[in-house]
Amino acid sequence: MSQAAKQRIDALCQQLTEHNHQYYVLDNPSIPDAEYDRLMRELQQLEREHPALLRADSPSQRVGGEPLAQFNSVAHLKPMLSLDNAMNEAEFSAFHQRLVERLGSAEIQYCSEPKLDGIAVSLLYRDGVLERAATRGDGMTGEEITQNVKTIGSVPLRLQGDDFPTLLEVRGEAFMPKAGFDEMNRKAHAAGEKTFVNPRNAAAGSLRQLDSRITATRPLAFYAYAMGVVEGQRQPLDNGHYQQLQQLKSWGLPVSPLVELALGEQGGLAYFRRVNEERASLPYEIDGVVIKVNQLEQQQQLGFVARAPRWAIACKFPAEEELTTLNDVEFQVGRTGAVTPVARLEPVFVGGVTVSNATLHNGDEIARLGVQIGDTVIIRRAGDVIPQIVSVVQDRRPEDARVIEIPTECPVCQSKVERFEGEAVARCSGGLFCEAQRKEAIKHFASRKALDVDGLGDKLVELLVDKELVKTPADLFGLSASALTMLPRMGMKSAEKLIKSLDAARATTLPRFLYSLGIREVGEATAANLARHFKTLPALAAAEVDDLIAVDEVGEIVAKHVYYFFRQPHNQEVIAALTAGESATVYWPEIAEIAEDQQPLKGQTWVLTGTMSQMGRADAKAALEALGAKVSGSVSKNTSTLVAGEKAGSKLTKATDLGVAVLDEQGLLDLLAQHQ
């Protein structure tokens, strides 16, 4: 009986280990999760029935075990070193120069690796079985975290193959991928629990759990970056670091796919630059690259200084998080009256730029962060993402810190600030009486996707409103060149040019006009849907909420915003001024309905790509659809015509390959004109 159980346990261990490797290391799941769970339950059941048969490398050990009272300390067999840093390219070049001199050779081969932002871990395999895992600690002694490390899916509990050394220490980084981190924090936040500041802290915190069952629920991963102590080799170790990493890979250890050989200073620099560019799109955080001399003989020749090797350097990217002080909070009023708190910060260099402002979004965000004026805060700027305050360093709060209060009156027009139930945002109730909202409304009205008034930038709009030359969008069309010349830095020539652009902007389309009104929640696409549905402005303005809900992608909230917009006397006045009478200020072609059986492009599928300079994508799509075409996102052999704007890329290549007809933007405009 026990013999049969042992055989079954061995077989299950082998199968589950293989599936685990496929899933976590090769990223290539081989069986459905449900099947994996079934096999795991069978194994756990057998192990419960036959406790003597429980193996140290059993995949069941990955779920965590009884909590520990404390961590044991572990003396590292070989110290775990740290790395010297290069803070910029020049410091890497200086590092390379030093090595050239010491080695007397200019052609140094490097192994280049991402510098993973997690925590260093040492794994000890005896006879291929993971015996012990430890943190780096102070480099000489760390903490034993074997139970916790066993829960990391990509760490093999048993090595693959049969040519691994009898004693093998693997060093690497345990980390938390960004997606897992976000998901974990989202859940913690929803449950009202504490969230982690960043993936690195989350990884460290998860591995420092005395209860490994908690660690097992955390989405941790591991990449090996070096061998430590090695004894009892069954095959000679390779004499290159890169090649040794490949050996580790062959024994089932995960190694970052970004590890590469690079030649000399230029090779190292090129790697640094390239990985820096890829940084934001990687699924985990890195804070630089590590460049290591590849030949082990050269490594030995170079040796160590203090606690770091001479043969490796960490080239750091600009930090994405820094500390700074919140000096003040100001409140900005947006187009829809939203009163947004903006943090004024002590300027700080983060993510490659100097940051002195950051949005605090709304009152809920201020409450979530628990931030006060005077606090030391952590600022984060990653990739092109706008800077964020991620947390407050509570124990650095000064005695005179001040609570941030959302104003009860608009800082611009002194109207009451209201906050509606279920909305996080506070709003100024002043509407277009509020100068701030007026400015934003006019900026929006003139913006590129709206009436597209060439040369009317944000600064100029602010000036026009400040000087009381313009109060509403309609006033723009009453401006004269001579009135404009009264503005600073506005000569007759520029003034006339602006009047011309304003005149040109009068010819528009109904979707653009609707978008330009700045109705809440009505973006380009909704404006196009509304125009297509109602055909005329009076029909839309008269629509009831239920009529509006009938429009594609318009829900109750949007419908109510549209309904109320057209019932505000002030808005009615502005619209009347913009469209009234014979000499209508702004005009657009009527949307004629073509009977379905007469639609010239009926049954055709069109695709739009590239940049259109005269007509937006949404307009082009709407116009094609009005002629009966279906507009799709991808080119196939069923595509009738591809409209290729400027800088068209792969879709154009594909269309040409498939022999699909191609039109440029002018060609499309000509075609549309024919069917007007």
As annotated, the active-site residues are 115
Widest CA span of the chain, in angstroms?
103
Chain residue whose CB lies nearest ligand IVH: 120
**Closest to ligand IVH by CB, 79 or 628:** 79
Shortest distance, position 155 Cβ to ligand IVH, whole Å: 15
- Composition of the chain by helix, strand, coil, percent to 5: 40, 20, 35
**Closest to ligand IVH by CB, 225 or 251:** 225
- Identify residue 146 by its one-letter amino acid code: T
Shortest distance, position 385 Cβ to ligand IVH, whole Å: 23
Shortest distance, position 116 Cβ to ligand IVH, whole Å: 4
Torsions phi, psi for 670 (to 5 deg): -60, -45
Task: Please report the DSSP string for 475-507 in residue order.
Answer: GGGG--HHHHTTSTT--HHHHHHHHHHHHHHTB
Shortest distance, position 314 Cβ to ligand IVH, whole Å: 6
Task: Please report the DSSP string for 320-353 in residue order.
Answer: SEEEEEEEEEEEEE-TT-EEEEEEEEEEEEETTE
Shortest distance, position 28 Cβ to ligand IVH, whole Å: 23
* CB-based contact 541:510 (threshold 8 Å): no
**Closest to ligand IVH by CB, 309 or 334:** 309
- Class of residue 60 by CB neighbours under 10 A (exposed 0-12, middle 13-18, buried 19+): buried
**Closest to ligand IVH by CB, 232 or 303:** 303
**Closest to ligand IVH by CB, 83 or 655:** 83
**Closest to ligand IVH by CB, 201 or 585:** 201
Q: How far apart are CA 92 and CA 546, in angstroms?
A: 66
**Closest to ligand IVH by CB, 258 or 541:** 258
Q: Collapse the DSSP code of 297 into the 3-class scheme (helix H, G, I; strand E, B; otherwise coil) and give the result.
A: helix
The residue length of the chain stands at 676
* CB-based contact 609:518 (threshold 8 Å): no
Q: How far apart are CA 304 and CA 103, in angstroms?
A: 14
List residues binding ligand IVH (CB under 6 A).
81-83, 113, 115-116, 120, 136, 173, 225-226, 290, 309, 312, 314
Torsions phi, psi for 623 (to 5 deg): -65, -40
**Closest to ligand IVH by CB, 315 or 333:** 315
- Non-local CB neighbours of 39 within 8 Å, separated by 6+ positions: 12, 15, 16, 19
Torsions phi, psi for 435 (to 5 deg): -60, -35
Q: Single out the residue of 315, 261, 309 nearest to residue 99, CA to CA.
A: 309
Shortest distance, position 142 Cβ to ligand IVH, whole Å: 11
Query: Quick count: other Cβ atoms within 10 Å of Cβ 141?
Result: 15
**Closest to ligand IVH by CB, 291 or 624:** 291
Shortest distance, position 308 Cβ to ligand IVH, whole Å: 7
**Closest to ligand IVH by CB, 165 or 172:** 172
| Order of strands, sheet of 630-632, starting from the edge strand that comes earlier in the sequence | 630-632, 605-609, 641-644, 661-663
Task: Please report the DSSP string for 609-620 in residue order.
Answer: ESB-SSS-HHHH
Q: Taking the alpha carbons of 427, 430, 436, 438 in that order, is the dihedral positive or negative?
A: positive
Q: How far apart are CA 368 and CA 363, in angstroms?
A: 9
Report the interhelical angle of 569-579 vs 556-567 (nearest 10°). 70
Q: Collapse the DSSP code of 398 into the 3-class scheme (helix H, G, I; strand E, B; otherwise coil) and give the result.
A: coil
**CA distances to 174, 327, 375, 379, 394 from 397, in Å:** 33, 12, 5, 16, 6
Shortest distance, position 299 Cβ to ligand IVH, whole Å: 9
Shortest distance, position 70 Cβ to ligand IVH, whole Å: 23
Half-sphere exposure (Cβ direction) of 48: Cα atoms closer than 13 Å: 6
DSSP single-letter state for residue 280: G
Shortest distance, position 286 Cβ to ligand IVH, whole Å: 8
